[in-house]
Each structure stands twice: as structure tokens, then as C-alpha cells.
Chains A and B, each alone.
Chain A
């Protein structure tokens, strides 16, 4: 079956512009996660959605970052007024649930802020 997909695969934007990154999870997966991986760094948790519950936003680095998940499926991560330090690969993962199931990752979106 189809895996997790993300779009765009690459995004180059100018400092100060807003960007939207999209994630399509595996159908039926109730949990969805966003992570950021900066060059040479590990994965940094950003935000997590579980079903219709309020998202866990504890990992968002600033109020310029926000995310939503419509209809419990597709998610968009929005970064407002982008800064050069936002340049990274943004990875999305989905899971059938949270506690006992594995995560399945998308290919990521490489964001470059010039």
C-alpha cells in the first residue's frame, strides 16, 4: 500500500517568506508526527497529532511554527517569516496509534532559506 508522502520534496525560499509543508499519512493511521533534522544533527520532535485530540505542540521551536491536521488525515506544517536557521529536512511520520506501534516515515521536505 501507499506509504507516507510529503510535498514538496525540496523548497527554496527567501528569508522572511512563509512556507507550507504537506504530509499525507498512511490511510487509517491516527497518529502523525513532525520532526526536523538539521544538517549533521539528530531528529528534533516538533509536534504530534493523535486522532481528534489537541496536538502536542511542546516541540515547536517558536511561535512562527504551526501545524494543523484536517479531517484526521492530511497535515500541513507552516513556518512564518522564515529564518536561515529554519533550513533543515522536515520529516513526517504516521503510526496506527501511539504506544505500541512503529512509526512510518515519509521521504522528507528539504527546506532551504536563502
Chain B
């Protein structure tokens, strides 16, 4: 069964800290993995997409890594800001379907 988990479920940090969110998946036969953020009551905003052949992708203060063989991806957020507060979701693309993790709820305190 294709399952995606995310650790931690919730995280609260002071502004300025660097942090790492984790995503694990059981089936490594993936096409790509996508990280999203979701603000309360809103839809999903795409942050980064990593193809199965790639090791990492960077966008501004965000860096996502992928280790397909071990079924893991991490999202690194540098110099966190209160505006980063949201729920972060990873989604694994298996071609015919995307499987989402339950999310990590991040709070960055001013």
C-alpha cells in the first residue's frame, strides 16, 4: 500500500530559526514529489517539485531534498518568518495518482 507520512505533525519555532520538515513514503517507484503549503481555509500553493531523478530543488529560502531509495524527502526552511506559518504537505506522484501526507502544521512566532 502506498502511504505517505510526515513528521512532526506540528512544530512551533521562534522567528529566524532554520527548520526541517520530513516526509516518508513506502513505495519508492515515484515519478516526482511535490511540496505544498496550505493556509487556513485556503487551497494548496505549490512550493517545490522534485523529479525522481533529482536530488534537490531550491527556491529562495526553501530547499527540498529527495532520497528515493530510502523513501524520504525533507523540506528545509531557512531563516523562518511568521509569514511561513501554514500547514506543509508533501505529495508523491505515482503516475496515476498522487498520495498526500497528513501535513506538518508550522507556527513561526515573532
Contacts and interface: CB of A to CB of B under 8 A. Distances in A.
B99 interface: yes
Interface of B: 31-32, 34, 36, 41-46, 49, 51, 89, 91, 93, 95-103
Nearest to B95: A99
Interface residues of A, number: 24
A102 B43 contact: no
A56 B97 contact: yes
Contacts of A35: 100
Interface of A: 33, 35, 41-43, 45, 48, 56, 58-59, 91, 93, 98-108, 110
Given A42-B103, A107-B42, A102 B34 contact: yes
Q: Which of B42, B43, B95 has the most CB of A within 10 A?
A: B43
Nearest to A107: B43
